[in-house]
Chains A and B, each alone.
Chain A
């Protein structure tokens, strides 16, 4: 076993040495990882799981309401449990969404908020509110998911049609697409006097997550499970239509599935919680920085790291200026922007 160690270490550094042309490709897992015993593979996951449980318990115990007081148990079930469940679901799903999109585009800087998907979901939500006044949460969600799907498709069409001189152009165009859609949302909100509400939606927050208002989030659990089942196909699709077809993969179907999964997760999370910027960008990148680009064994870590990030940011938001709350989207945007910049400069230095 010992003689394999250096190879394992070498396999962990691809991010530091991106190949020519900026586009960092995922190396097929089998090439990289030497066989390890079952226990060697399992114990880090157990540690990760323990951290996750610890953070969940922490989240359950943080809040303005004293659980020991009268009605504490009831409050626990009405607010704390739903909030924590929502954190776990949203963190896991969005981190995986980012990973899927990065696999499919072979671009490290792509995730729902750098492709316009989030803004499209917001526009969908707003449009539904205007067209169907008093619409229930399910109707709004359908609107958001549909618009998110349209937006993500637009982005993928753009990628297919345009030859790019630099991988950095991709998020720039994505963010500009988001700006166009955001301008449309603003116009709509301005005309219908919903500007401040629009701002509130976009500032994602778990404050309003209580029993009866978050159950739709379990939809994203389905997305999460699905990613685990078919993640490898996204890697192959990311190598391009020709290679995918060559190995017998229905390229269109895989891309459609990927876009649909991202749209469902983004749409649902936008309606229930709001925008959680950069989460899908930061988490997968940090995981592969630490562990290397081995998709199969990274998946559980991406999920756990997504959950950790969201819970830590949410707990910070709840405690920093208690009894008030800082929306998690602000903390995520600041932390995310910082990590994003670090990644950018890091890649620039090595690429």
Chain B
């Protein structure tokens, strides 16, 4: 809180007790914060590794080391890869989105991505029927859908941000409203579906990790890794962007351009994860909030990996507990959504400014 006012100008500065001999600027305020960061990373890694081991080994009846054992484990590796990709996508996308928009309570998925995804899926089922759905699976349609979503996002962002009076809030609200319109379209089509087709559709829509098609992983992984690496490399720029437009321009950054690039990378990640396991609104929000409150640093290069690790730990743990202990694998995403939603409510109701 407010300290006593310092000595008035003119009086020589008092020597500071305990000031480090060499004054340096670091990502952490104190050595304690640095230790805490390492501890958090270690703890999240332990949870992640333990859940990974649990998912691979729990209930694996075959004798450890035998061929059957490895076969079962291999099948489960697919799910783990999906979990890792989804965690990476949501964590990197959400933290970067928060920084780009200067607002830590919104999630990129509200920008109409889900709505677009649901609209495309619904239209496919509507046009092809339950039987024709199989035609819309495979690597080609997967890439096509991801590409379509990125193209839509690019068009929206560049249109809105390039207007002379364009601003981030306007862009957000337009995205949300467009999403609402698309949602209405999907809702209407869904009413016309026969119950069989509707069942097929809802199985496809409700993000499911055990349901994700592992053949997509090999296509998705390089895209996700490249986008995440690009975001991480831009970490220092994002540190400046987080201080708002005025400071960023003063520091010589092309603010609009930086925003566009960040949002495009975000849209790539959101498109891939939505196409992989379906929409998840609050996972990213949950893990980003977790990262902000666990570690005391404003450095994106340190924050992003923590968020991703938190995402992996949360998802893997939830998956392990729900699927292998309670045999309710399908509920993983729904449960995480609910927890994330409650955290959102709590954060929103905290006093502050947006």
**A interface, CB within 8 angstroms of B:** 109, 154, 157-158, 161-166, 168-169, 171-173, 175-177, 179-180, 183-184, 186-187, 190, 195-196, 199-200, 202-203, 277-278, 326-327, 329-330, 333-334, 337-338, 340-341, 344-345, 348-349, 351
Contacts A190-B206, A334-B181, A334-B185: A203 and B170 contacting too (C-beta < 8 A)?
no
Q: Which parts of B156-191 form the interface with A (CB within 8 Å)? A: 163, 165-167, 169-170, 172-174, 176-178, 180-181, 183-185, 187-188, 190-191
Contact A333 B181 (CB under 8 A): yes
B354 touches A169 (CB 8 A): yes
Can you add 9 more A-B contacts, CB < 8 Å, to A109-B173, A162-B352, A344-B170?
A161-B350, A176-B105, A180-B341, A180-B345, A184-B338, A187-B334, A196-B190, A344-B173, A344-B174
Q: In the complex the two chains form, is B177's CB within 8 Å of A337's CB?
A: yes
Q: A183-B281, A277-B184, A333-B184 are in contact. Are A172 and B169 (CB under 8 A)?
A: yes
If over half of A's interface residues share one DSSP class (helix, strand or loop), that class is named, otherwise mixed; here it is: helix
10 intermolecular pairs with C-beta atoms under 8 Å apart: A164-B354, A171-B173, A172-B110, A184-B338, A186-B334, A334-B184, A334-B185, A344-B173, A348-B163, A348-B165
Closest to A164 in B: B354
Interface string of B327-354 (1 = CB under 8 A from A): 0000000100110011011001111111
Q: Which of B166, B206, B334 contacts A348 (CB 8 A)?
A: B166
Inter-chain CA distance A331–B163, complex, in Å, is 29
Q: Measured between alpha carbons, how far is A199 from B337 in the docked complex, in Å? A: 19
Q: Which residues of B contact A329 (CB under 8 A)?
A: 184, 187
| Most chain A CB inside 10 Å of its own CB: which residue of B163, B180, B195, B344 | B180
Q: Contacts A190-B334, A196-B198, A341-B177 given: A176-B349 contact, CB under 8 Å?
A: no
Question: Once bound together, how far apart are the Cα atoms of A334 and B350, in whole Å?
Answer: 34
Residues of chain B within 8 A (CB-CB) of A344 are: 170, 173-174, 177
Given contacts A163-B352, A177-B348, contact A337 B181 (CB under 8 A): yes
With A162-B353, A180-B282, A200-B191 known as contacts, the answer to whether A175 contacts B180 (CB < 8 A) is yes
Which residues in A have their C-beta under 8 angstroms from that of B173? 109, 168, 171-172, 344
How long is the Cα–Cα vector from A175 to B175 in the complex, in angstroms? 12
Q: Is B137 engaged at the interface, CB distance under 8 Å to the other chain?
A: no
A188 to chain B, nearest CB (A): 10
Judge whether B353 and A163 touch: CB under 8 Å: yes
Question: Would B282 and A183 count as touching, CB distance under 8 A?
Answer: yes
- Count of chain B residues near A, Cβ 8 A: 46
Q: Is the CB of B354 within 8 A of A162?
A: yes
Chain A residues positioned under 8 Å from B180 (CB to CB): 175, 277-278, 333, 337
Q: Is the CB of B165 within 8 A of A157?
A: no
A173 → chain B, closest Cβ, in Å?
6
Q: What is the distance, in angstroms, from B332's C-beta to the closest C-beta of chain A? A: 12
Within the complex, the shortest CB–CB distance from B256 to chain A, in Å, comes to: 16
Contacts between chains A and B (CB distance < 8 A), count: 130
Interface residues of B (CB under 8 A from A): 103, 105-107, 110, 163, 165-167, 169-170, 172-174, 176-178, 180-181, 183-185, 187-188, 190-191, 195, 198, 202, 206, 281-282, 334, 337-338, 341-342, 344-345, 348-354
Contact of A168 with B169 in the complex, beta carbons under 8 Å: yes
> A276 CA to B189 CA in the complex, in Å?
17
Residue of A nearest to B350 (CB): A161
A115 vs chain B, min Cβ distance (A): 12
Verify A195–B177 contact, CB threshold 8 A. no
Identify the closest chain A residue to B281 (Cβ): A179
Residue in A157, A166, A200 whose Cβ sees the most chain B Cβ within 10 Å: A166
Give the CA-CA distance A163 to B176 in the complex, in Å.
21
What residues on A are CB-neighbors of B183 within 8 Å? 333
Instruction: State the CA gap A126–B341 with chains docked (Å).
Output: 18
Q: Considering the complex, give the chain B residue whose CB is closest to the CB of A330.
A: B188
Give Cα distance in the complex from A285 to B125, angstroms: 37
> Which of B176, B178, B181 has a CB less than 8 Å from the CB of A172?
B176
Chain B residue numbers with a CB within 8 Å of A173 are 105, 348, 354
B283 nearest CB across to chain A (Å): 11
User: In angstroms, how far is the closest chain A Cβ from the Cβ of B163?
Assistant: 8
Q: Which residue of A lies closest to B342 (CB)?
A: A180
How far apart sit A157 and B107, CA to CA, in the bound complex (Å)? 21
Contact between chains at B349 and A158 (CB < 8 Å): yes
A residues less than 8 Å from B353 (CB atoms): 162-165
Cβ–Cβ contact B176 & A175, under 8 A: yes
Q: A183-B337, A199-B187 are in contact. Are A158 and B165 (CB under 8 A)?
A: no
> Which A residues are in CB contact (< 8 Å) with B103?
169
- Roughly how many angstroms separate A169 CA and B354 CA in the complex, as a whole number? 8
User: How distant is B65 from chain A, measured CB to nearest CB, in Å?
Assistant: 40
Q: Of the candidates B106, B188, B198, which one forms a contact with A327 in the assembled complex, judged by CB atoms under 8 Å apart? A: B188
Q: Judging by beta carbons under 8 Å apart, are A179 and B191 in contact? A: no
A117 to B337, CA, bound (A): 20
